[in-house]
A and B are shown apart, each in its own frame.
Chain A
């Protein structure tokens, strides 16, 4: 999991909360309140990319081998990927279990 980024001291806050570096929302860890996480069974995966397209955040990224890698830094555990996977290759596992 990526290191926590995007959290600064109030002394470093941009004037009036402005965004002076475009795209800095990606620095914020938004995946800290899920109750279950998606786990991919790559034996079943057919590299269709549906999870990548449908994920409302930025959890899935394409690797060189055509499979998709998960970044839990952003995952809120919504389960859409698991619901929509045509091969039932994504299972939602309860956090802490």
Chain B
């Protein structure tokens, strides 16, 4: 009935990793090997746990971005949105704590989620209803969210109420059977996302819209609804990331989440998702986020890069990772 390129095989390879998908894993393996040779501490349990936990925010947001990008969109506002949601959540919890005590935390999480979904809906609606390029729309909302967090904090810091600090801390610093909670959260988000993208009608439509909008429309797919939904999923993912982020430093500032959007897009692309849409890789995205964080970690653990050149070396490694990924496809 539809002329959707390559959708059926994608559905099949959802859970088992096919040859076309091993690229990011190879790149990660190479990186880990090099890292270990440079400094054996690189693979110490503590370091690995720290780095993978740190990558959780970018991974969770990037999972949402996989939907947006594979459906042919782009969201530049995610970093500012994360800061904005963090700010709303902290202010709400501080307001709620006198009457609700520590129950303010789950309430705050709910508020964060609703805020995230609303932000995503805003982006999605303007893009689809307004028929404006997502690049421009989200560039606009990026500025709006960043200004709102600056306004909420008076340019300074809003910190979480002291009485909530200790109660909330375990959400970032705690673990279940030795696995840090943010890692478990990102795995859960990835599992759900992989199911949605690979096994549901919505997921197939996402890919179809990204591959060829006109063909998708002629096949009876509501492009508007699919694209908007992708932005809503993105918003929800940013909110989940914010929920894990708040307990780490317990504060929001105007520099929270600065430039996260670039890390997110990089993680998605390293993971094998096509920036032009039409192909999405959830697990690749997660690995992409871990690779980025490992590169930054390796820069500090190795001694032969001058502090002035760290960014350049990171850029080179990202490009090499992409090349490894590309070549493994042949």
- Do the two shown chains form a genuine complex with each other? no
